[in-house]
Structure 1
Amino acid sequence: MKRFLATGAACLALASAAQAQEAPADAPKPMDQPRDWSATLTQDSTGLHDIMIDSHPGVHDPLNPAFKPRLEEGLTVALERAKTTTDAGGWWWALRAYVASFEDGHVGINITQPNYGFPTRWPGFLTIYRGADQVVVDREPADAATPPLGARLIDCDGVAAEALAEQRIGQFRGRWFLEAQRTLYGDWQFLSAQNPWIGEMRQCRFEADGATKTYALNWRATPEDIYARRAKLAQRAATDFGLKHFDDGGFWISTPSFNGDPSSETHAELTALIADMKTKQDALRLAPYVVLDLRGNGGGSSHWSQLMAEVLWGDAWMAAHPEPAIEAVEWRASDGNIAEISAFLDKLRATNGQPELITWAEDAINGMKAAQAAGQVYWRSANDEEPADAAPPPPAPQLMAGRVYVLTDSSCGSACLDAVDLWKTAGALQVGRETSADTVYMEIREPVLPSGLAQIAVPMKVYRGRARGNNEPQRPQYVIAGDMSDDAALLAAIRRLQPD
């Protein structure tokens, strides 16, 4: 049976024209130049719409009839907002809302000017989600007019806390129904970044120690250390690639990315990591436990997780325990998509990339060109049919003596989710936190919008028959509470899960 190479969001984000270039220190900053922002929003929202019409597989997807109306409605809203847009904030947040309306983590947008950020304001405190509640976790200690740490938000200006978050954050981030989105962006509830499409609340009610109190909000510039404060609240791990061996015989393997760009540093580190795993294969298979750490991994190419699975469980075990097959992949046959895969193929050839990836890229290019010639919108790459009387694979030995744990956090998406699918099917146990989620639209390219100020992420293909549905996260068998950046605490929690 043919096995698809399921590459994801980060794989084809190559050094294309979409990548922002560093400008000289004294060069004018594009975002700060005088500009007709109303016309810019009209131009860019129309450009975003036209790129999607030209290249996104959802436009003609018979299984997603809501896609085209959503695309048109988003443009209508953006053009209406353009009538009153007067600054960069209005332009940016209108575009963010348009992108968020697709409810798809593979449809994204970034400003092309490196390290650009809008000035932020706050009322002297921040909240994050703890379960379903939004609680105060950071405040100016000398400001008695702000709610105390641990206070739970009830409402602001008469709008209930969850509805308020949907309006102020979910509208511009999308997929607010996911725990991962609330974990990643919940601290935006009391931040303001020049977004004219939402106002700054005047007063809010909080509950603390059984008592409810109303607080008037005094909005002002955020302190200089606001990014450090937010980073501390996020508790996101800053892991490096590597394989650690502990005194009790256990192993910890960290893969914070599955980037598929053959010229990237990540590619080199993953190649070295898998070579190290092969060298230590016998010890890994005899270990009492192996932790596959995916914290911070936003995707890339599932090629890497397949290689790792083969090192651990072996070809025979993986053949006997295949993950649910994808029936087919349909590529949207457009000039832009063909050009993107062609550039990727050129890089593979220039760097002596893996033969299977080269074959995959050649097939995709030739297939899309053939579809175009035949006047078809998709090129379909389907799994080969196995004979109905095909014998099941022979029993395979379990080569892993101990447990394999897959450690996930809210960053896990795209090819990271493919890794969790694969490894759990092989027998691994998921621990940590609920992952993010993706749709069946995959393989992004990153064209620049007409203004040159932003680039978007656009999927080029669609999976057919994937077992995991649209925006369906992976949930751990064992939830680990606490700080997801605390390696020692996580290791101790995993050791407690070990059988006696």
Structure 2
Amino acid sequence: MAFWTAAVWLSAAPVWAQEPTREWMTQPRDWSATLKADVEALGRILEDSHPGMFDDRNPDFRPRAEAGLAEARRRAETTRDAGGWWWAMRGLIAGFDDGHVQIGLAPSGGLPSRWPGFLTTYRGADQVVASRDDADDDAPQLGARLIDCDGVDAATLAERRVGAFRGRWFLESQKVQNGDWVFMSAANPWIPEMSACRFEVDGRAAAYALSWREISSEDLGARGTALAQRAFPDFGMKAADDGGWWLSMPSFNGDPASDAYKALTTLLAEATETQAALRAAPYVVLDLRGNGGGSSHWSSRLADILWGHDWQVAHRLPQVESVDWRASEANIAEVQAFRDQLAAADGDARMLAWADTAIAGMRGAMAAGEPLWRAMNEPRPGLDPGAAPVNPMRGRVYVLTDPGCASACLDAVDIWKAMGAIQIGRETSADTVYMELREAALPSGLAKVWIPMKVYRGRARGNNEPQVPAHVFDGDLKDEAALRAWVLSLNRRG
């Protein structure tokens, strides 16, 4: 399993969430040449860093990457502005359908946005109006269900306008988190603004002519925050009045210099000291709201504290067969930089040993002229003959997830559910078997990309497979009182 994964999701944050400084968009620049240079650079980065380019178990990867690069080059021929550059790059990245292939704007300030006076969001399979300009009498009412626009049905419209530039549109989590983009227009020349739409209102179809106009980043940001179905609790452990415990972990950041690393170190120390109380509690909630990934060693260590060695050995997931690393100087430098940070912070000895092994292995593969280095897992020790482990957790353990749970957050759900934990909340995001991200700047200086460096072989959870809760919370995940009451009721029902 990965000991660390750089979970950076800059492009998952919509541009309206950024500061409104936009000088970079108006400075004189040949945007066609800018796009061409960034596309060619991304092609070189993929070749140098991504194991998929040499993955004989995924022969479609290279042709798909080359097709995406070719489409972006075609778009460069007619690109004339910042919007054309940005959304062509976004479309290229989305084509990988991989949350671990990411792009983020380096300068502050998003593209100017327009809207028709309302935004929709997903409620199940339906897109419904969830935010509107109260002063606009011509906008559809809250709760109105989208039928179609300009003759294009709602599902196809969302896929073309949002999915094509976000990727993985087959996932519920992508629709939940990005559905409000259907009626946002952020200078994207590759999709037109709609003229007229039909909504179902009170059981009847009603037509609306759309009047697009500018909306400030502050207004749009506030509306997006209100629509977001995510919460970001503080790190920590809290005992409930009924004897239950909540352990909140909104990140698994593996960077030793980060505040999250320090908070997680403190949380694990407190969990160790409180181990007896946690094991005797009527229930324990492992709260992953807000967690987008990081390092999977945090969840492994918490499993040690809660369930102990013997129970884990008896219930652990099948071992990953191996890990293949793309052997390159750039990837070696990335792991070396992480190792140096870790050593400076007196980090975990196991993680230091892992980094040393990965660096040496990639160097050996390069010396042999091999594009990939394979790290084989050593056989894991089993239980003693005749051993019958007993679950030390007296009460139920719940894993609370939201649609943003990805990467190492998914690893945590994998591990804890194998121990017997019950997933609750919302369906998670998903990831591919390509892991461990390297950051690289593009020649324009306007964007950075994050590209995987390794690939898992034989992971139990499938490619882009989300984790589905046994019990779904239909309310607002930010409503702490309602959520805690629901968990208590859930535990009483048994």
For the 8 Å contact 1:320–1:394, the answer to whether it is kept is no
1:125 matched to which residue of 2? 118
Per-residue CA distance 1:201-248 (angstroms, 9 max, x = gap): 000011111111111000001154221111011132121101010110
For the 8 Å contact 1:12–1:340, the answer to whether it is kept is no
What's the CA shift for 1:187? 0.2
Q: Distance in 1 between matches of 2:2 and 2:73?
A: 39
1:209 lines up with 2:202 in the alignment: yes
Amino acid of the residue matched to residue 213 of structure 2?
R
1:326 lines up with 2:281 in the alignment: no
What's the CA shift for 1:9? 3.6
1:157 matched to which residue of 2? 150
2:273 matched to which residue of 1? 279
CA 1:414–1:206 in structure 2 vs 1: closer, same or farther (change >3 Å)?
Answer: same
- Of 42, 45, 52, the residue aligned with 2:46 is 52
Amino acid of the residue matched to residue 456 of structure 1?
V
Amino acid of the residue matched to residue 175 of structure 1?
R
2:7 matched to which residue of 1? 10
Residues 352-371 of structure 1: matches in 2 within 5 Å? Answer: 352-371=346-365
Per-residue CA distance 1:110-135 (angstroms, 9 max, x = gap): 0111x321111000000000000000
**Which secondary structure does the structure 2 equivalent of 1:446 belong to?**
strand
**Which secondary structure does the structure 2 equivalent of 1:248 belong to?**
coil
1:21 matched to which residue of 2? none
For the 8 Å contact 2:22–2:110, the answer to whether it is kept is no
Residues 319-398 of structure 1: matches in 2 within 5 Å? Answer: 319-385=313-379, 394-398=387-391
Q: Distance in 2 between matches of 1:12 and 1:462?
A: 19
Q: Supply the RMSD in Å over aligned alpha carbons.
A: 1.9
What's the CA shift for 1:395? 1.6
2:245 matched to which residue of 1? 251
Question: Which is worse superposed, 376-385 or 404-413?
Answer: 376-385
Residues 20-99 of structure 1: matches in 2 within 5 Å? Answer: 29-99=23-93
What's the CA shift for 1:12? 13
2:463 matched to which residue of 1? 470
Amino acid of the residue matched to residue 346 of structure 1?
D
CA 1:62–1:271 in structure 2 vs 1: closer, same or farther (change >3 Å)?
Answer: same
What's the CA shift for 1:5? 3.7
Amino acid of the residue matched to residue 253 of structure 1?
L
1:399 matched to which residue of 2? 392
What's the CA shift for 1:386? 6.3
Q: Distance in 2 between matches of 1:81 and 1:11?
A: 27
1:425 matched to which residue of 2? 418
Q: Distance in 2 between matches of 1:174 and 1:469?
A: 18
**Which secondary structure does the structure 1 equivalent of 2:440 belong to?**
coil
Q: Distance in 2 between matches of 1:281 and 1:127?
A: 45
**Which secondary structure does the structure 2 equivalent of 1:221 belong to?**
strand
Question: Which is worse superposed, 407-416 or 391-400?
Answer: 391-400
**Which secondary structure does the structure 1 equivalent of 2:441 belong to?**
coil
For the 8 Å contact 2:7–2:253, the answer to whether it is kept is yes
Amino acid of the residue matched to residue 111 of structure 2?
F
What's the CA shift for 1:11? 8.4
Amino acid of the residue matched to residue 77 of structure 1?
E
Q: Distance in 1 between matches of 2:187 and 2:239?
A: 48
**Which secondary structure does the structure 2 equivalent of 1:236 belong to?**
coil
CA 1:357–1:6 in structure 2 vs 1: closer, same or farther (change >3 Å)?
Answer: closer
Amino acid of the residue matched to residue 170 of structure 2?
F
CA 1:274–1:185 in structure 2 vs 1: closer, same or farther (change >3 Å)?
Answer: same
CA 1:393–1:297 in structure 2 vs 1: closer, same or farther (change >3 Å)?
Answer: farther
Unaligned runs of 5+ in 1: 14-24
What's the CA shift for 1:328? 0.4
- Of 244, 261, 266, the residue aligned with 2:260 is 266
Q: Distance in 1 between matches of 2:117 and 2:205?
A: 19
Q: Distance in 2 between matches of 1:195 and 1:237?
A: 29
Amino acid of the residue matched to residue 234 of structure 1?
A
Q: Percent identity?
A: 58
Amino acid of the residue matched to residue 487 of structure 2?
I
For the 8 Å contact 1:11–1:259, the answer to whether it is kept is no
What's the CA shift for 1:31? 4.2
The alignment of Structure 1 onto Structure 2 pairs a total of residues equal to: 483
Unaligned runs of 5+ in 2: 11-18
Per-residue CA distance 1:183-213 (angstroms, 9 max, x = gap): 0000000000010000100000111111111
Q: Distance in 2 between matches of 1:272 and 1:429?
A: 25
2:103 matched to which residue of 1? 109
For the 8 Å contact 2:429–2:466, the answer to whether it is kept is yes
Per-residue CA distance 1:6-48 (angstroms, 9 max, x = gap): 43242899xxxxxxxxxxx9x9954442100000000001111
Task: Output the TM-score relative to the length of structure 2.
Answer: 0.95
1:143 lines up with 2:136 in the alignment: yes
For the 8 Å contact 1:11–1:301, the answer to whether it is kept is no
Task: Output the TM-score relative to the length of structure 1.
Answer: 0.94
For the 8 Å contact 2:9–2:102, the answer to whether it is kept is no
Q: Distance in 2 between matches of 1:93 and 1:68?
A: 22
For the 8 Å contact 1:127–1:187, the answer to whether it is kept is yes
CA 1:5–1:38 in structure 2 vs 1: closer, same or farther (change >3 Å)?
Answer: closer
Per-residue CA distance 1:440-488 (angstroms, 9 max, x = gap): 0000011001111111010000000001111000000111111011111
Q: Distance in 2 between matches of 1:81 and 1:397?
A: 61
1:488 matched to which residue of 2? 481
